[in-house]
Structure 1
Amino acid sequence: MWPDFDGGSIVDLMDSVLRSRGGHAAGPGLRDVDVSGWSDARTVVLLVLDGVGMAQLDLLPEDSFLRRHCAHALTSVFPSTTAAAITTFMTARAPAVHGLTGWHVRFDEPGLDGRVLAILPVTPRGMPDASEQTLAPDDVLERVCRTPSLFASLPGDSCVISPADIVDSPFNLRHSAGARRIGHDGLPDMLDQIDCALRVPSPPSYVYAYWPDFDHCAHQRGAASGEARALLRAADVALGRWVQAPSRRDTLLLVTADHGFIDGPPQRLIELEDFPLLADCLAGPLSGERRAVFCHVKPGRVRDFERALQALEPACTVWRSADLQAAGRFGPGTPHPKLLSRIGDFTLEMRDDWTLRDTMPGERGHRLVGVHGGTHADEMRVPLVQLVI
């Protein structure tokens, strides 16, 4: 399943949110969702539950809050992952435009010279000593991020409520520019902070709130594990109780997710080091995600690379990255000028529940039980809850 950028994706959701708050939207917005009353809301609250896709709602009882109020399913972006999707939520632009195409992104801007960075913490990979990074995170983001925050373009006040440990991170500072920032210490505190923002005499026109805990648990324990199930049910109960509190003065609550999840069994994890002929063709570390892998090939080694890929044939579909970009898989809009250099020569779309990773010197080869980033429906489909509270 590829993203539905014809009115059914989180990009289209953000166009509708932006237009309802008096901003200028790049696209027409959602196709099958009645948004006619959104502009009447005094405040729109967008609550993003990281990793809580449509498949994850099946972990909940039928009478749960999220299942009862979920009227629509949207798609994420490609890759279906936090770095790409959260940037879309905070800029209202697709990955093609904002250019952040996965947890790991390869940059060839001056001073970066083909290094692969984990873009959310802005840390390099493939370097024995991280102190060798010559640019500060703020400088890196200034060079590689061209798409402005959506909050700065809104005529009304905005508020961003994020975990306390990232609310003032370089990435968050840049992408929440124009909004007031508030840190939270978990779901109950986040809901309290939303209430505080809403119950002042002049509440903000738009509140964006982000909860990462399910994603963390699913990566470590599995998306369908007992721990993930218990965490999600507790969150659902808390949300259900919260919306029953006294009226918050014409507030529209929207709940969605950046992506869903599947579990990746260890026997379906491919280690690049086990395929030396393939690794020898690469011009640097892999980028993207374990489920959507971008490969930069050494000059003159394309044919060797294609032959070596035959060993992975059951596990992935191989695409020329430029063909995916031309087909609009990274979304609508004028492409980021560095998009093609970031997605490399080839994209490996991992099939079923396969994953692929490489481990660079100085990196810990940590296991991820729950995974995402690919095109499986359970990774791609996310809910949309809307109700007036």
Structure 2
Amino acid sequence: MKIPSMNENPVTFPDYQNCIVNLTSSILASFNVNIDHPPLKQLDYKNFGQNVVLIILDGFGINLLKKYKTDATSFFAEHYKDQITSVFPPTTAAAITSFITAKTPYEHGSVGWTMFFKEYAKYIDFLPIWDSTTTTTLDNEKFKVHEILGDNNIFDMIHKQDPKIDLFNITIKSIAESANVIKSSGPAKIVPHESSKEFCERIEEAVKNDPENRKFIYAYSSDPDHLEHIHGINSDQVKSFLAEINSEIQNLTERLQGTDTTILITADHGLLDINKYYYTNEDKELFDSMILPGFPEPRFISFFVKSNKIEQFKRASRKYEEDFLIMTRKEFWQKNLFGSGKPHRKLDDFIGDFVFIAKTDKAIKPIYEQNGKWKTEFKAHHAGITAAEMLVPLIEINT
């Protein structure tokens, strides 16, 4: 299928009939697991190979595939099937949790990187279990946030349906022993990697191990997201990584010929370069009306506002209307941006009186006074509602 053209930053909402949740649902259906959300219409899941490999390249939005389709991502472009959406917010904490659980953010409750957990009176970065104000790692035996958010993982679901299926979670070495990865892997074998070459070697080893057994292999790379944050989406570093992983996966595909393997490649979200950061503490009228620092993301921020200063907050908000979709709590829930299903009990704790959702190249965040501003802000970010952040490729390769 032809890769679609993109306008600069058009507002794009999640499509919960054509998103990453539906991709995971397709995989589950291929293993005869009952699913809560429909499979993707673009995929013939009943005819997937004996082995199914899901490769997630963090931050590999459709914008990057389009930009480099004739060179750095040419192999990916050759096997491009369609574009799908991320979930809302299009950010790793929400999207990866959706991949792992086959649930919408409405169901699993992980709606961003930083969330205030009243149980611990603390802002916690959910995936790494960091204290958000100090960036120190918390004791996961005391701060059991992964027992509060999330849901059953797809590895458990597949294993319950057929214990004979071999399961692998191939992930970056720095998080392979984290509480989040261990909990979300269930019966899957956790396999660390440190490079694009090793990433593909670990996939090959998993596919060829006990060739008679059927397998599901979940393989995650933290790049290009990490490189985009630091260097920007148009940087040489990002292009170099894409060329490298494009080549490595092409070689991997050749080595897997005859193994009856379906490889699905996508991303959790895309990114776009940030032109300006606003800081809530520097807007005296806005800051004075707030009860708590806003969270969970610089491009999707929830505000809890003093009841006697609602009008003051509204006045202060007007200057941001060009760059952010500003909604009351009621308006936000009416949009169903988190998707459908059984609502997670924590959602009410995370959505305040107003939300800002970025629709241009701006971001807004609090400053913790004891820390001050970051010396260098991220050059690119995600979690807003632009096409660059929301649209990701669906790539299918059969060997």
Judge same fold: TM > 0.5, yes or no: yes
Contact 2:110/2:150 (8 A) holds in 1: no
Q: Deviations over 1:170-205 (max 9, x none)?
A: 111111122111111111101111111111224452
Q: For the structure 1 residues 291 and 167, does the alpha-carbon distance in structure 2 shift closer, same or farther, using more than 3 Å as the test?
A: same
Report matched runs for 1:301-316 at 5 Å: 301-316=309-324
Please give the alpha-carbon distance, in whole angstroms, between the structure 1 residues aligned to 2:146 and 2:110. Answer: 13
Letter in 2 for 1:94: T
Letter in 1 for 2:319: A
Please give the alpha-carbon distance, in whole angstroms, between the structure 2 residues aligned to 1:26 and 1:151. Answer: 16
Letter in 2 for 1:120: L
Q: Deviations over 1:310-346 (max 9, x none)?
A: 2322221211234333432101211101112112222
Alpha-carbon distance, 1:14 to partner:
1.1
SS of 1:378's partner is helix
Report matched runs for 1:215-364 at 5 Å: 215-247=225-257, 249-265=259-275, 268-360=276-368, 361-362=370-371
* Segment drifting more, 64-73 vs 229-238: 229-238
Report matched runs for 1:368-379 at 5 Å: 368-379=378-389
Contact 2:26/2:43 (8 A) holds in 1: no
SS of 2:224's partner is helix
Query: Could you say which residue in structure 1 is the equivalent of 2:114?
Result: 104
Q: Deviations over 1:103-143 (max 9, x none)?
A: 112222x3x23x2211111112246x959x7x636642254
Please give the alpha-carbon distance, in whole angstroms, between the structure 2 residues aligned to 1:203 and 1:362. Answer: 52
Alpha-carbon distance, 1:146 to partner:
4.7
SS of 1:288's partner is strand
* Segment drifting more, 59-68 vs 234-243: 59-68
Contact 2:146/2:180 (8 A) holds in 1: no
Please give the alpha-carbon distance, in whole angstroms, between the structure 2 residues aligned to 1:375 and 1:140. Answer: 30
SS of 1:116's partner is strand
Please give the alpha-carbon distance, in whole angstroms, between the structure 2 residues aligned to 1:126 and 1:283. Answer: 17
Query: Could you say which residue in structure 1 is the equivalent of 2:156?
Result: 152
Under a length normalisation based on structure 2, what TM-score does the superposition of the two structures give?
Answer: 0.89
SS of 1:333's partner is coil
Contact 2:295/2:303 (8 A) holds in 1: yes
Query: Could you say which residue in structure 1 is the equivalent of 2:173?
Result: 164
Letter in 2 for 1:321: R
Please give the alpha-carbon distance, in whole angstroms, between the structure 1 residues aligned to 2:256 and 2:227. Answer: 32
Q: 1:125 aligns with which of 132, 143, 151?
A: 132
Q: For the structure 1 residues 36 and 234, does the alpha-carbon distance in structure 2 shift closer, same or farther, using more than 3 Å as the test?
A: same
Residue 96 of structure 2 corresponds to residue 89 of structure 1: no
Please give the alpha-carbon distance, in whole angstroms, between the structure 1 residues aligned to 2:325 and 2:220. Answer: 33
Query: Could you say which residue in structure 1 is the equivalent of 2:397?
Result: 387
Alignment gaps of 5+ in structure 2:
1-11
Alpha-carbon distance, 1:253 to partner:
0.3
Please give the alpha-carbon distance, in whole angstroms, between the structure 1 residues aligned to 2:191 and 2:329. Answer: 38
Identity %: 28
Query: Could you say which residue in structure 1 is the equivalent of 2:77?
Result: 67
* Segment drifting more, 283-292 vs 75-84: 283-292
Q: Deviations over 1:42-78 (max 9, x none)?
A: 1110000000110011232426111111111000011
Please give the alpha-carbon distance, in whole angstroms, between the structure 2 residues aligned to 1:363 and 1:46. Answer: 40
Contact 1:79/1:373 (8 A) holds in 2: yes
Q: Deviations over 1:260-317 (max 9, x none)?
A: 111112xx22122220221122222221211111212234332222222123222212
Under a length normalisation based on structure 1, what TM-score does the superposition of the two structures give?
Answer: 0.92
Letter in 2 for 1:341: D
Q: 2:50 aligns with which of 42, 50, 60?
A: 42
Please give the alpha-carbon distance, in whole angstroms, between the structure 2 residues aligned to 1:76 and 1:246. Answer: 29
Runs of 4+, deviation exceeding 4 Å: none
* Segment drifting more, 58-67 vs 9-18: 58-67
Alpha-carbon distance, 1:350 to partner:
1.4
Query: Could you say which residue in structure 2 is the equivalent of 1:22?
Result: 32
Alpha-carbon distance, 1:248 to partner:
5.2
Contact 2:170/2:218 (8 A) holds in 1: yes
Alpha-carbon distance, 1:226 to partner:
1.6
Aligned residues: 378
Please give the alpha-carbon distance, in whole angstroms, between the structure 1 residues aligned to 2:199 and 2:110. Answer: 27
Please give the alpha-carbon distance, in whole angstroms, between the structure 1 residues aligned to 2:297 and 2:264. Answer: 28
Contact 2:55/2:266 (8 A) holds in 1: yes
